[in-house]
């Protein structure tokens, strides 16, 4: 006797980089747990091997529940793009310009779609496609509700500017006061590419996408009430911009089993965990400035000196290359043998891709020095780990402000963007000591962990929202 097909079919269209891919696959797995059929559309080729490996592990874990479809991109003509060496922004632009090729992919699906979830970088390009579809479309926003409020409000700021062609450098003053949100956004926290003179791909994308958020049926956020209640309420009550679709706080999206590292990386993780097992509870600092931004060579030495001087054991993940397909480079070549020897006496230094959740959840880890990417922020909150945030770019100062005001982290604001100046080792050591010794941070981090686990647990806000949407999609299918 054949098993009937699930009543709900959800398609996901991913973007570039682990910061976008991980939350997409985690949300996808939530719908799988609720019995939905899922189609995953993958832009090819991916930028990094880490992305390809993660997708392969997901599909191997759910061979009958997930249908993978490759979305082969049209090569980008470099003469049509502003000069940039960022492979991820080039990929975003390539995906946006290839979206028109999706129509035959979607029409070939064996069962009709109940919902279509697309990455936040595709708000506008996907509109001609979804206008021909009968199912609702949702944006998966991979940053904070505070960042979404900024993105939504940009169109209001632009409309209020008297210039015929307003530019962000004109309408963004010293600070932006977003309706419904008490804390203003200082100009210094706005993503740097947005404020560059002239025009660039990032500016054009934001200015195009801001008013088009209203044309979708909802936005999924990897956030929750206790962390961002004010911003979520302001967005949903029409205070930020009238006419926005519902914003669903379905976070924190927790790590899944398929995220476990490859066989080739298990040796590195086993070694790290063995070292952590030797340390006292809460005595180790975990340092990782993200998997997208390479650490500057002139900063690496001072980071090493700061870790040696801080007095705590540490696990330091150093990223020497932006893309993992690039030529390999030895860490000792950068730091020298003498400094490497001192580092190894005090802690663990690796440049391989690691299982961040396994490190954060280990009882020995008491603090996290991070760039403040939204995935890292929510993962640390979910594990109750104190945070020292050092923004490197993008939305990370938004996240730093949020962490500081929520009491779970400290922000070394005087360091500026991590790409601007070299922070001395003694200053890094000072700030790490401040984080690790702060009892108030520890207590607040534990409280936020409890709230996070409640939100994503059985009967929590995430489950309530997902079940409600599934029932809504089922009713829509019956009506159609």
- Active-site residues, by number, are 20, 119
Cβ–Cβ < 8 Å for 211, 240: no
Q: Supply 307's token pair.
A: 């870790």
Three-state DSSP class for residue 439: helix
Whether 137 contacts 126, CB under 8 Å: yes
SS3 state of residue 369: strand
Q: Helix crossing, 396-406 with 374-383: angle to 10°?
A: 20
For residue 14 the two structure tokens come to 């991913």
d(CA 106, CA 181): 39
For tokens 């001192």, name the residue. 342
Number of alpha helices (DSSP H) and beta strands (DSSP E) in the chain: 19, 15
Q: Which residue has the tokens 């209203």?
A: 214
Mapping DSSP to helix (H, G, I), strand (E, B) and coil, where does residue 136 land?
coil
Whether the Cβ atoms of residue 41 and residue 11 lie closer than 8 Å to each other: yes
Query: Where does residue 290 fall: left (phi above 0), alpha (psi -120 to 50 degrees), or beta otherwise?
Result: left
């Amino acid at each position: 006797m054949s098993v009937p097909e699930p009543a709900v079919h959800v398609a996901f269209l991913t973007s570039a980089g682990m910061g976008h891919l991980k939350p997409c696959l985690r949300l996808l797995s939530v719908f799988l747990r609720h019995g939905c059929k899922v189609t995953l559309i993958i832009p090819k080729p991916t930028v990094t091997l880490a992305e390809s490996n993660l997708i392969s592990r997901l599909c191997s874990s759910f061979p009958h529940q997930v249908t993978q479809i490759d979305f082969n991109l049209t090569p980008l003509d470099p003469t049509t793009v502003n000069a940039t060496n960022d492979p991820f922004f080039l990929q975003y632009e390539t995906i946006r310009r290839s979206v028109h090729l999706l129509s035959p992919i979607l029409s070939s699906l064996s069962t009709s779609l109940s919902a279509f979830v697309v990455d936040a970088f595709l708000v506008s390009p996907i509109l001609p496609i979804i206008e021909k579809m009968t199912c609702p479309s949702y944006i998966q926003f991979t940053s904070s509700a505070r960042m979404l409020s900024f993105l939504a409000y940009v169109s209001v700021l632009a409309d209020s500017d008297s210039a015929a062609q307003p530019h962000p450098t004109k309408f963004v003053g010293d600070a932006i006061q977003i309706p419904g949100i008490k804390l203003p956004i200082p100009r210094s926290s706005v993503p740097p590419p947005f404020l560059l003179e002239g025009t660039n791909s990032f500016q054009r994308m934001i200015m195009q996408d801001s008013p088009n958020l209203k044309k979708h049926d909802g936005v999924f956020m990897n956030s929750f009430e206790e962390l961002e209640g004010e911003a979520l309420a302001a967005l949903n009550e029409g205070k930020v911009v009238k006419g926005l679709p519902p914003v669903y706080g379905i976070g924190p999206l927790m790590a899944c089993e398929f995220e476990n590292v490859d066989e080739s990386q298990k040796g590195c993780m086993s070694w790290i965990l063995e070292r952590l097992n030797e340390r006292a509870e809460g005595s180790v600092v975990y340092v990782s400035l993200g998997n997208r931004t390479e650490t500057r060579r002139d900063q690496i030495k001072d980071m090493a000196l700061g870790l040696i001087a801080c007095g705590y054991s540490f696990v330091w993940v150093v990223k020497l290359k932006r893309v993992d397909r690039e030529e390999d480079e030895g860490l000792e070549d950068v730091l020298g043998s003498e400094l490497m020897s001192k580092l190894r006496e005090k802690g663990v230094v690796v440049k391989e891709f690691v299982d961040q959740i396994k490190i954060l959840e280990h009882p020995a880890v008491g603090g996290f020095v991070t760039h403040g990417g939204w995935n890292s922020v929510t993962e640390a909150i979910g594990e109750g780990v104190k945070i020292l945030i050092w923004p490197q770019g993008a939305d990370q100062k938004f996240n730093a402000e949020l962490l500081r005001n929520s009491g779970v982290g400290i922000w070394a604001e005087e360091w500026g963007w991590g790409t601007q100046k070299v922070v001395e080792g003694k200053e890094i050591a000072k700030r790490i000591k401040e984080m690790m010794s702060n009892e108030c941070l520890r207590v607040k981090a534990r409280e936020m962990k409890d709230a996070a686990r409640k939100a994503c647990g059985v009967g929590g806000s995430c489950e309530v929202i997902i079940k409600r949407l599934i029932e809504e999609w089922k009713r829509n299918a019956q009506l159609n």
